[in-house]
Amino acid sequence: MSSDTTPTTGLDEALRFDAVDLVGRTGSHRSVERTVPAPAQETGSLAMQVPEGEDIAVEAELESVVEGIYVHGTVTAHLEGECSRCLDPVEQDVAARIDELFLFPEKVKAEEREDSTLLIDDEVHLGPLVRDVLAMEAEERPLCREDCPGLCGQCGFRMEDDPDHEHEVIDERFAALKGLFGGDEDA
């Protein structure tokens, strides 16, 4: 029945919530809570991910409305990655909102189904939503701290270990600039 073409992952299966008791009962609502282990597949951004097996916690309210089931709540997870400058480990705690209306398929025109979030067999599938939210919240270029000095561009040395670290060899263009701005004041 479902024409969903996204590959099924552990998260998709683990985050399906039966809403059959709410269907057709506008105004009724129920809260759900589920903690699932992060799947082996990347969850987060390329730089920051929820390590496999770590908790992804979902707390949400399912509300029966005329058009379908409205879901709102939070996703919390702990992400790990590397500083984009010095490659030190970086951690990030995410607590993100989810907010989505799962429409009754029979109330959606066939040509609009592709772009809509639909109730599937009276279930809300929060997996894809949770993955999107975590991908959006995850840092793209994480830093161990705002002013991380990074690594030496020439040898990869961690600049934090010795801020005075430098190389004697001076780039020719740099030498030329130095001359141009009259940096030399030797006798």
Q: How far is the CB of 169 from Zn ion (least distance, A)?
A: 10
Of 122, 118, 180, 139, the closest CA to residue 45 belongs to 139
Q: Binding residue for Zn ion (CB under 5 A) from 1, 155, 169, 180? A: 155
Using the minimum distance from each CB to Zn ion, give the nearer residue, 110 or 155: 155
CA angle 170, 174, 177 (to 5 degrees): 140
Residue 104 binding Zn ion, by CB under 5 A: no
Using the minimum distance from each CB to Zn ion, give the nearer residue, 42 or 88: 88
Residue 83 binding Zn ion, by CB under 5 A: yes
Using the minimum distance from each CB to Zn ion, give the nearer residue, 1 or 169: 169
Of 71, 88, 91, 70, the closest CA to residue 80 belongs to 91
Is the separation of the CB atoms in 124 and 34 below 8 Å?
no
How many residues make contact with Zn ion (CB under 5 A)? 10
Residue 85 binding Zn ion, by CB under 5 A: yes
Residues 10-69, interacting with Zn ion (CB under 5 A)? none
Q: How far is the CB of 137 from Zn ion (least distance, A)?
A: 20
Interacting residues with Zn ion (CB under 5 A): 83, 85-86, 88, 144, 148, 152, 154-155, 157
